[in-house]
Amino acid sequence: MNVITAGPLPAASILWQPQAGAWVLTVVCKATFLLRPGEALFAPEQDPPSQGDATGEEAPSRSLQSASDLAPAKPRADVVLVGFAFAPGKVPVRSLMTRMIVGDVDKSIEVWCDRVFSQDGALHEGPPFAQMPLVYERAAGGPGSWNPVGVSGASRNAYGQIAVPNLQPPGLFIAEPGKSIEPVGFGPIAPTWPSRVEKLGRHAAGWSHRDWSRKPLPAGLDLAYFNIAPADQQLPSLREDERLVLENLHPEHPRLVTNLPGLRPVATVEGRRGGSRQVAMRCDTLWIDAARGRCSLTYRAQIALEHPEERGRVVVSLEPSQLARTEAERSLPPTSRRAGLSATQTQVPALKPEQAPVLPWKTEERGADGAPHSGRSSAGLPFRAPGAQSSLAALPVSSVVRQAPPPAPPPPAPPPPPPAPPVEQAPLSALAPAPWAADAAPPMTVGQRIGASEGAARAPLPRPPEGDGDPRASAPRPAAAPPDDIVELLWFDPDALPRVRARWRELILELDFEEIDPRHDLPADDAAAAKDRHHVLGVLTDGSPIDPGGVHKAILASLGDRKRFAPPLVLVTGEARFPFDELEALKATVAVVTPLAGLDKQLKDAIDSVGELLKSPYLQSSTGVVDRLTQQLKEHLAQSHRALPAGQIEAYTERLLLEQRRYQTRKVLGDVWIRALLAAGGQAPMPLYLPRALEHRLPMMTSLKVRVLAEAHLRQDQIEPSRYALKALALGRVFTADELRPARTSD
C-alpha cells in the first residue's frame, strides 16, 4: 500500500505484525516549526520522519541525539528536548536553571560548570560557560543505573579526581564526594538502556530493536517500550496547539513562551471495498531541538491490512485552511523524503484550497451497503488483548468515507539540501589539577543562582568586532538588542506601507497569520487600519535591527551593478536625542533670566542687547552666533547670582522648551522636518528627520530609545558631520519590562 503526501508534511510508514498472520501499516507524518515567541512558525524546510536512532558521535555507547519515528504505536505521548542550555545574554555563568513546561510536564534541571573533587576532598570549579550540552554523558549515572553513560561518583580519573555531573536536580547541595545524585535529562532514552529494556520483560533476550518489524511481535509485549521520553516527560495525550515554555533553552530568548499552531493532519485510506475512509492521526511525540531553535510534532495512525501486499493508498493531508497557512509560511519545498521505507511513498503537488469546498478531495457517500472495509479483524492486535499493559483502544480506523481523485504525476524531486554541520559535543575531558582554582567559592543557594541568572539575562550582549573587509561583501551589522525589548508604536506613514511590505515580505506573511488582537492592534473598528498597524509594529518588533553604524553598509549593499541609487529601507535602533532650536532656546533663556536681573545693570544691559538682536531677521538658528549669545547670558547671570544652584537655569529653560515643543527643524527632502540625532554604543550621531506633525505626539523627553523604519539617505545638510541621514517612515519607542515595574520607595 502506497503512502502519498498531499501537502507539505513529509510522511513515512512501517509494516509490522501484531501477531502471526496479521498485518498493520503504521503511517507516520511530521510537522516542523521554528520556535518564535508567541506562536511557533511552520518551518520552510520540513524534517522528514527519522528512520533510525542516531547518537551524537555515531557510537552505540553514547546517548541518542535523534530517535526513530517508525514505532508501531505509542501508548503515551513523548516530550523530549536535545541541544544546549544557554546562559542569558551569552554571558558566561557558573550555573543556571533550565526549565521546560509542556502541558502537565514541568521539569527543571540545574546546569553547572565543570567541577571535580580533588584527592583531598576539595571541590574545584572550572571556567564559567555560555552554553552547555544537554547530554546524558554530563548527568549522573554510570554502569548499574538507568543512565549507563553518565558520570559515576565512584570513579576517579588519571589525576585521582572525581568528576561531578554538570546536570543535576534543582536545589541539590554538593559539598563532598560520594553524595548520591539522581540522573536527570531532557533527551530520549536509548532502546538498550535499562528503563526501556525492562518493558520487554521475558522477551528481552530474543529482542532486536533494529529488526523488530521483520517478525510478529511477542504476545503480551508492553508497547510502552516504544516510548522514548523519560517517565516524567510522558503525557496521556499531546495537543496540536500545546503551549511551550522554555527557560535558558533557546540561544536568543532566555524565556521563550510560544504555542504550537494546531496543525492536525488526516490519513485517508483509498482503493478498498466500501470506499475511502479517513483515519485520525494521533499526535504522540514532541521533539524540541534547542540548538536549532526548532521543534517537531510526530503524528501516527494504524491501518489493519488483509495481507502485506494489499493494493490501495493512504493520502496524508491537512484541512484546506491549515494547508493554505502552511503554503504561505514556507518559502522552500519540503525536504526530500528518505528512501528505503517498507512501503513506497510519493510526493504530489499540494492542492489549493479553492479547488475543494471542504477537503482537498471530493466527498462521496458510503457504498450501498454502508459497511466498513471487510478486511481482517483487528482483534488480534496486541493493544486489543485483554489485560494488556498498554491499551490503544482509541486507534481504530474512522468510518467517515471520502473519495479522493487519482493522484497527479509526481513532480521531479528537489535536490536535497546540504547536510547541516554536526553539533560538536564537548565531552568531559580529563581535568588536570593546574587549571582549577585552589580555593573555590562556596556554592550558591538556589535563590542566588536564579538571581544571578536573571541578572545575566538583563546584561547587554557583547558587540561583535567590525570586519575590515569590503563593506559591500557583508550585510549590515545587526544591533545587539536585548531579547526583552518592548516596542510601542508612536507613528507610521501609511503611504510607505507598500515599500515596507515589499522589503519585509517574508515577515509580513508570518504576521498575516497572527490573530489580530483588538486590545493591541487598534483601531479594531477599521480592519484595514488595524492590519496596517499590525504589519508596522510586527516589523519593528520582529525585524532584525541594525545600529546607525550599519547604515553605510545597507546603502552600499543597495547599489546594483548599474550603480543606480535609491534610498534603501532600514530598521535602525538606538538612542534618539531631540535638540532644541537654538533661537528658541535663546528666547527661553531670556524669559527665565529677566526676572532675576533686578538692579544688576550689567545683566540688564546684556538682556537688552540680546532682545535687540532677536528682532533681526538675519539671526539664524543654525549659526554659532545664537549659541554664543545664550552662553554669554548664562555667564552674566552666574557672576551676579553666585548662590544660584548649578544647572537650575538650564533645567527651567529645558522644561519651557519641552512644554512648547521647540525642536530643531531643517528644510530638507522637500519639507520641514524635526531634526533628531540617532546614536548607539558611543558612535557619532546621525541625523534623523521626523515629520513636523509629530511635534505634539512625541513624549516630553529630550532623549528616547527608539526603533525606526527609515529611508537611508546621503547627507542632506552640508554642516552635518555625518555622511548619511535617515528619513523616518515609522517610529517606535523601546523600553523593557523593568521600566513597567512600580518604583521602590527608595527610588
Residue 700: what pLDDT?
92
Residue 534: exposure state from Cβ atoms within 10 A (0-12, 13-18, ≥19): buried
User: C-alpha 591: how far from its chain's center?
Assistant: 54
pLDDT digits (tens, 9 = 90+) for 160-173: 889 999 999 999 98
Instruction: Please determine, for residue 57, whether its predicted confidence score (pLDDT) is greater than 60.
Output: no
Query: Quick one: which of 416, 213, 409, 402 has its CA closest to 316?
Result: 402
The CA–CA distances, whole Å, from 162 to 178, 433, 444 equal: 9, 12, 21
Please count the helices (runs of H) and the strands (runs of E) in the chain. 11, 32
pLDDT digits (tens, 9 = 90+) for 61-74: 689 988 999 999 99
How many Cβ atoms sit within 10 Å of the Cβ of residue 678?
25
Mean predicted confidence (pLDDT) in 694-720: 94
CA dihedral in degrees (452, 456, 459, 460; nearest 10)?
170
Q: What ranges do the domains of the chain cover?
A: 2-86+196-227+234-241+258-384, 471-579+664-740, 582-659
Instruction: Please determine, for residue 271, whether its predicted confidence score (pLDDT) is greater than 80.
Output: yes
Q: How far apart are CA 447 and CA 696, in angstroms?
A: 46
pLDDT digits (tens, 9 = 90+) for 274-319: 778 888 899 999 999 999 999 999 999 998 888 888 889 999 998 7
Residue 334: what pLDDT?
42
Q: How far apart are CA 485 and CA 415, in angstroms?
A: 40
The DSSP result for 531-559, as a single string, is HHHHHHHHHHHHS--B-GGGHHHHHHHT-
Is the distance from CB of 449 to CB of 96 less than 8 angstroms? yes
User: C-alpha 488: how far from its chain's center?
Assistant: 21
Residue 483: what pLDDT?
57
The answer to whether the Cα torsion of 529, 532, 536, 537 is positive or negative is: positive
- The grid cell for 294 is 526548532
Query: Quick one: which of 2, 701, 695 has its CA closest to 347?
Result: 2
Instruction: Please determine, for residue 641, whether its predicted confidence score (pLDDT) is greater than 80.
Output: no
Query: Quick one: which of 316, 236, 227 has its CA closest to 31?
Result: 316
Residue 482: what pLDDT?
56
Higher pLDDT pick, 211 / 334: 211
For 604-619, give one letter per residue: b (16+ CB within 10 A) or e.
Answer: eebbeebeeeeeeeeb
Q: How far apart are CA 83 and CA 131, in angstroms?
A: 10
The CATH class, in words, for 471-579+664-740 is mainly beta
Query: Quick one: which of 314, 298, 237, 281 has its CA closest to 50?
Result: 298
- The grid cell for 522 is 487598534
Q: Is 213 helix (H, G, I), strand (E, B) or coil?
A: helix
Q: How far apart are CA 487 and CA 490, in angstroms?
A: 9
Q: Is 710 helix (H, G, I), strand (E, B) or coil?
A: strand
Is the distance from CB of 264 to CB of 278 less than 8 angstroms? no
pLDDT over 90 percentage in the chain: 45
Q: Write down the pTM of the prediction.
A: 0.48
> What is the C-alpha end-to-end distance of the chain, expressed in Å?
72
Residues 6 or more apart whose CB falls under 8 angstroms from that of 93 comprise 87, 113, 128, 129, 130, 452, 453, 456
Higher pLDDT pick, 280 / 597: 280
Strand residue runs (E) in 653-692: 665-668, 671-679, 686-691
Q: Residue ranges of the alpha helices (H) in 241-296?
A: none
How many Cβ atoms sit within 10 Å of the Cβ of residue 255?
17
25-34, 217-226, 626-635, 658-667: range with highest mean pLDDT:
25-34
Mean predicted confidence (pLDDT) in 710-737: 94
Measured N-to-C along each axis, helices 527-542 and 505-512 cross at an angle, to the nearest 10 degrees, of 120
How many Cβ atoms sit within 10 Å of the Cβ of residue 346?
16
Mean predicted confidence (pLDDT) in 253-269: 93
